[in-house]
Chains A and B, each alone.
Chain A
Amino acid sequence: MRDRDRGVVTRRAVLRAWFGPPALGAVLYGAISLPLGVLDLGCVCLVLPVTAVPAVRSRLRPPGSACPGAPLTDGLSALATGHRWLAARLLGAWVTAPPAPARPLTIRPARPPDTRPPGPLAWARLARAADPAAPWRTVLYLLLKLPLAVVMFWVWAPCWAWAAVLISFPAWWRALPPWLDSDLWRQPHRGPLRLGALPLDVWPNCLLVTAAGVLLLLAAPWVNRVVLVDGLLVRALLGRSEKDRLRESRALAVDGSTAALRRIERDLHDGAQAQLVALAMKLGMAREELTAGARDEALTLIEAAHGDAKQALVELRDLARGIHPAALDDGLALALETLAARSAIPVELRVDLPERPAPAIETIAYFGAAELLANAAKHSGARRVTLTVRPVGPNRLCLAAADDGTGGARTDGGGLAGLIDRVRTVEGRVFVDSPAGGPTVVRVELPVRP
């Protein structure tokens, strides 16, 4: 699983970062950074001012559109997408795109499309109307790319170059004319090449230089990792900003609560309401039987109605617990004890919380634990589960569930995805380590106060 920008990290991704494709990717990225940087600078310096010319812009604008310069932001976001793709494929830095700029909200009645050529201030208005930062952050990145590529080039290119030079030393040192010597070593010509007292232009010794070259070659991929700095820049400038993240987590929270309300309505409709209608029906029939004098039929109906009433109580109690378990009022530890006692498989519970978290966090932790225990019981065939809650660092707690089942937990759908979404609404993180066949460990980190 890749190390995506979702707050979900797996052990395998960490292992793979040390070997294999990332090294090759870094080399490739470094190689194309320089030409790309030139291209980006060209785009910014030539295309942008050209599109600022009103005549060009009015021709570029699609007929009837109210947003001048829309093709411009499209071009910028296309460039940004390209850079993000390169960073993802070659550097392994998966950066989520910022949300598309929202259309400017018109509260006043729509005016007819503006057919005047947009003036110089239209740029500023465009930036304010759309998501304010995104196009400008992209332009900043495009401007910075070339200087950064040049700086990085002077770090990694000499490494490779010197490695090639040193390794091939035995092949060409004889061809070195004497005066080139002194230029290379920046010392007055001292006769044959030497390393201190060791002459290098003698057959066995020149292999030392080759060895040095080989060492340099081995180190070169690591030096090439300096291009990861570009990946950081991509994440900072072309990824989501803090505001985007907050907006997204707010949307998640609202959607989550809407979905929860819909579930409650459906549970009430199909469960308790149906039971109460059946109950009322049976009591109505019982009354008629009684007035008609048929005692036995009335008794049967009343017994059935009694059963319906008790069933309705059970359903309502379960529903209430699904909305807010009463035990949570007394603290997370007590609620988790009740949860552990009701679980189908034996649960070893260890709760160590010096202070009570905020109620919202307790609720998320409780339902998260319920989800994890249910998954362990339903899918993994585990025989025991260990549930621990302990503080990690200031203002953070960690809820961990470890089971000895068959693993293979999936985070892309179902309850675990819902848990991840809920945790993200409070800026928490979920770590899932569930190799197929092996034990599953899920850690949920939450702030103590959101």
Chain B
Amino acid sequence: MRVVVAEDSALLRDGLVHLLTRRGHRVLAAVPDADALLAAVAADPPEIAVVDIRLPPTRTHEGLMAAMTLRREHPEVAVLLLSQYVETRYARHLLSGPCEGVGYLLKDRVADVSDFIDALSRVAAGGTVLDPEVVSQLMGASRRAGPLETLTTREREVLELMAQGRSNGAIAAGLVLSQASVEKHISAIFGKLGLPPSGTDHRRVLAVLRYLESQE
């Protein structure tokens, strides 16, 4: 896979490049700020860009803005955003545009190398990936709402994994269930929450997220 990395901390930037190279991916450019990122992507478009949300000069959300620009101008480039903290509004902002090939992860996930590479592949393939921390915050916030309480524990687990962008197979593997029972749970969830059944994984994520936010 061809990757561009945008991260202002030199230590982390080198670490990411090292990690990606060891796994056989090709790092086209490793840049320290948003302008350099846009220039690098324009010069030689990668398959996916790994972007820190906090970039110079103000270190607030330049990375997020650059990611939105990238989604507009280079829709074929997937974007995986990394953040030190969970900010649900950043996730919301990111998913407000077209969300095939979009991901939002905590930097802590980088420590689990295989999971990180897996998430990277999923996003590059056009899926949507959300950090479990973001999802659990959203679900925790909407626990006060009524309809979510009608879900069984199993169904809530399936919902969480679905919101993270996992496919049915991955959910089945993660919860040690058969794929058929996962599909049954999913249709039950959609029924109880009143959501229309949706086809692709990332549309599912969107639907679930929108539902969860509306319950906040």
The residue in chain B whose Cβ has the minimal distance to the Cβ of A287 is B113
Contact A277 B110 (CB under 8 A): yes
Q: Which of B1-53 contact A (CB under 8 A)?
A: 9, 11-12, 15-16, 18-19, 22
Chain B residues with CB under 8 A of A277: 12, 15, 107-108, 110-111
Contact B111 A274 (CB under 8 A): no
Chain A residues with CB under 8 A of B108: 277, 280
Chain B residues with CB under 8 A of A194: none
Contact B113 A270 (CB under 8 A): no
Q: Which of B99-145 contact A (CB under 8 A)?
A: 107-108, 110-114
Interface string of A239-282 (1 = CB under 8 A from B): 00000000000000000000000000010011001110110111
- How far, in Å, is B112 (CB) from chain A's closest CB? 6
A424 to B11, CA, bound (A): 41
Contact B84 A269 (CB under 8 A): yes
- How far, in Å, is B70 (CB) from chain A's closest CB? 23
A146 to B96, CA, bound (A): 70
Contact B22 A274 (CB under 8 A): no
Chain B residues with CB under 8 A of A288: 113-114
A308 to B108, CA, bound (A): 16
Contact B12 A274 (CB under 8 A): yes
Contact B9 A281 (CB under 8 A): no
Flag whether A284 is at the interface (Cβ < 8 A).
yes
A273 to B113, CA, bound (A): 18
Count A-B pairs with CB separation below 8 Å: 41
- How far, in Å, is B16 (CB) from chain A's closest CB? 8
Contact A283 B114 (CB under 8 A): no
* Interface SS, A side: helix
Cross-interface CB contact of A281 among B54, B59, B110, cutoff 8 Å: B110
Interface size counted on chain A using CB atoms at 8 A: 16
User: Contact residue range for chain B?
Assistant: 10 to 19
Chain A residues with CB under 8 A of B12: 274, 277-278, 281
A116 to B111, CA, bound (A): 69
Chain B residues with CB under 8 A of A274: 9, 11-12
Chain B residues with CB under 8 A of A285: 18-19, 22, 113
A273 to B59, CA, bound (A): 15
Q: Given the known A-B contacts A269-B84, A273-B84, A278-B15, are A283 and B9 also in contact in the complex, defined by CB atoms under 8 Å?
A: no
Chain B residues with CB under 8 A of A266: 59
Chain B residues with CB under 8 A of A278: 11-12, 15
Q: Can you report 17 residue pairs joining A to B where beta carbons are below 8 Å apart?
A: A269-B84, A270-B9, A273-B84, A274-B12, A275-B11, A277-B110, A278-B12, A278-B15, A281-B12, A281-B15, A281-B16, A281-B19, A281-B110, A283-B111, A284-B110, A284-B111, A285-B113
Contact A281 B113 (CB under 8 A): yes
- How far, in Å, is A117 (CB) from chain B's closest CB? 49
A274 to B108, CA, bound (A): 10
A283 to B111, CA, bound (A): 8
Chain B residues with CB under 8 A of A281: 12, 15-16, 19, 110-111, 113
The residue in chain A whose Cβ has the minimal distance to the Cβ of B110 is A281
Chain A residues with CB under 8 A of B16: 281
Q: Given the known A-B contacts A273-B84, A277-B108, are A308 and B11 also in contact in the complex, defined by CB atoms under 8 Å?
A: yes
Contact A282 B15 (CB under 8 A): yes
Chain B residues with CB under 8 A of A270: 9
A271 to B99, CA, bound (A): 33
Chain A residues with CB under 8 A of B113: 281, 284-285, 288
A275 to B84, CA, bound (A): 12
Contact A280 B9 (CB under 8 A): no
The residue in chain A whose Cβ has the minimal distance to the Cβ of B8 is A270
Chain A residues with CB under 8 A of B15: 277-278, 281-282
Chain A residues with CB under 8 A of B54: 269
Q: Which 8 A-B pairs have the closest CB atoms?
A: A280-B111, A284-B113, A274-B9, A278-B15, A278-B11, A281-B15, A277-B107, A284-B111
A283 to B15, CA, bound (A): 11
A156 to B59, CA, bound (A): 64
A266 to B110, CA, bound (A): 21
The residue in chain A whose Cβ has the minimal distance to the Cβ of B111 is A280
A284 to B114, CA, bound (A): 9
- How far, in Å, is A59 (CB) from chain B's closest CB? 49
Pick from B11, B54, B110 the residue with the most CB of A within 10 Å. Answer: B11
Interface string of A337-353 (1 = CB under 8 A from B): 00000000000000000
- How far, in Å, is A267 (CB) from chain B's closest CB? 12
Pick from B15, B107, B108 the residue with the most CB of A within 10 Å. Answer: B15
- How far, in Å, is B117 (CB) from chain A's closest CB? 10
A285 to B116, CA, bound (A): 11
Pick from B59, B112, B113 the residue with the most CB of A within 10 Å. Answer: B113
Chain B residues with CB under 8 A of A280: 108, 110-111
